[in-house]
Chain A
């Protein structure tokens, strides 16, 4: 592939690590590099292979096979329990490493990271030096590949096309020619659409570009239009850098491993108490929480619990967590508990309605308010009314209005 051309126009890089969970396991167990390895989910009711190395595939192992079938195919295949928390932590550490080289880092799915290259080549003394620095930031055993192009999709395909530890550059002038022989399976569309493409004989991107856009869109809709544009090297999706996220987390290493849920919930209670005393959380509410349990044998369990509203009371917070975690099914003893507050909110108060206004008591309340109004001249009960909720001036958003109850309305 002749990649001469305006390489200085390359604005996006994609760092791609195929079979990311497996590579992370091999990072942890380097002696398994090159071996036939399969991953299984220990929490699933039926233990099947959820990912396997290329060496395992060569020996006949497939995703979806049961462990019994794998033993029949090849008993020497190494089976490991998946550790999703570990994979995410490793991925986040890679994002942090790359963020030292570029302020614009976007996380794709696990193992795929987009890097904004604009304005960096001068600082890095050239594009090749920058590519080398990006690859050096990743442990070589993860077998990272780097693609550089002018659009995200082309950069990603270039990375997937390349070899481990190498960079593949595709200038804009060559993008269409580079993409033409690639498989439609590389398009970021649904599996159903890919199946339809194959059934219609559209196996490569060039087959798609030969069709008129209007016909593709009328047959496949907006998703088809996007596929056609990507196949033609047109990608209007911008790189969206990771926003600064305020993260507050607490960890607790248990003095002894345990499988008892009550002890785990007690540990969570302690973590919640610490969390609400954290300076970043005081006076604020929490919209969701991430609970991570590290188990024996490097296994892990994780759940993100989103609340219906903002929770600002520790007791309410722990009650909601307890309700959600009662049915948890762990595959091993817990070694460490981690609790993270997500979506910190500045909401500090909430106006509740008057539920009693729909009952007979509402009449008594209305009578009391009328008597007070007659005595003092104004109603002592007020309600907050939205006036200009969109206003940037806080005092313009709401107004206090005297509450005058009537028998016909409830609040």
Chain B
């Protein structure tokens, strides 16, 4: 479960080839760990950022 949202930001890049449009969320989870997820705004899919 998400306890807090540390940051929210969006990137829109590489419009000249394969466009990338994502909204990122940096989350604090209930167990105390922190993770980054993002929603791909082109296909509305959600991913976890591992790197």
A residues in contact with B51, CB < 8 Å: 394-395, 397-398
B residues whose Cβ falls under 8 Å from a Cβ of A: 3-4, 6-7, 11, 13-14, 20, 26, 28, 32-34, 36, 49, 51
Q: Which residues of A in the span 364-411 have a Cβ within 8 Å of any Cβ on B?
A: 392-395, 397-398
Can you list 6 A-B contacts with CB-CB less than 8 angstroms, sorted by A residue number? Answer: A280-B4, A346-B7, A346-B34, A392-B11, A395-B49, A395-B51
A398, B50: Cα distance in complex, Å? 12
Check B49 against A282 for contact (C-beta < 8 Å). no
B51 closest partner in A (C-beta): A395
A393, B6: Cα distance in complex, Å? 19
A279, B31: Cα distance in complex, Å? 11
Check A346 against B11 for contact (C-beta < 8 Å). no
Known: A279-B3, A393-B11, A395-B49. 7 other contacts (CB 8 A): A279-B28, A282-B32, A392-B13, A393-B13, A393-B14, A393-B20, A398-B51
* Total CB contacts across the A-B interface at under 8 A: 32
Check A348 against B34 for contact (C-beta < 8 Å). yes
Check A284 against B34 for contact (C-beta < 8 Å). yes
Check A346 against B13 for contact (C-beta < 8 Å). no
Question: Is the contact region of chain B dominated by helix, strand, or loop, or is it mixed?
Answer: strand
Q: How far is the CB of A252 from chain B (nearest CB, A)?
A: 23
Q: How far is the CB of A57 from chain B (nearest CB, A)?
A: 51
Check A283 against B13 for contact (C-beta < 8 Å). no
A residues whose Cβ falls under 8 Å from a Cβ of B: 279-280, 282-284, 346, 348, 392-395, 397-398
Check B11 against A282 for contact (C-beta < 8 Å). no
Check B32 against A283 for contact (C-beta < 8 Å). yes
Question: Is the contact region of chain A dominated by helix, strand, or loop, or is it mixed?
Answer: loop
A282, B32: Cα distance in complex, Å? 6
A59, B34: Cα distance in complex, Å? 62
B49 closest partner in A (C-beta): A394
Q: How far is the CB of A100 from chain B (nearest CB, A)?
A: 26
A282 in complex: contacting residue of B7, B20, B26, B28, CB < 8 Å: B28
A280, B32: Cα distance in complex, Å? 10
Check B20 against A283 for contact (C-beta < 8 Å). no
Check B28 against A346 for contact (C-beta < 8 Å). no
A154, B7: Cα distance in complex, Å? 39
A346, B28: Cα distance in complex, Å? 12
Check A283 against B33 for contact (C-beta < 8 Å). yes
A residues in contact with B7, CB < 8 Å: 346
Q: How far is the CB of A350 from chain B (nearest CB, A)?
A: 15
Check A282 against B34 for contact (C-beta < 8 Å). yes
Known: A392-B11, A393-B11. A283 touches B3 (CB 8 A): no
**Residue from B4, B7, B20, B51 whose CB has the most chain A CB atoms within 10 Å:** B51
B residues in contact with A283, CB < 8 Å: 28, 32-34
A394, B24: Cα distance in complex, Å? 11
A residues in contact with B49, CB < 8 Å: 394-395
Q: How far is the CB of A351 from chain B (nearest CB, A)?
A: 12
A395, B13: Cα distance in complex, Å? 13
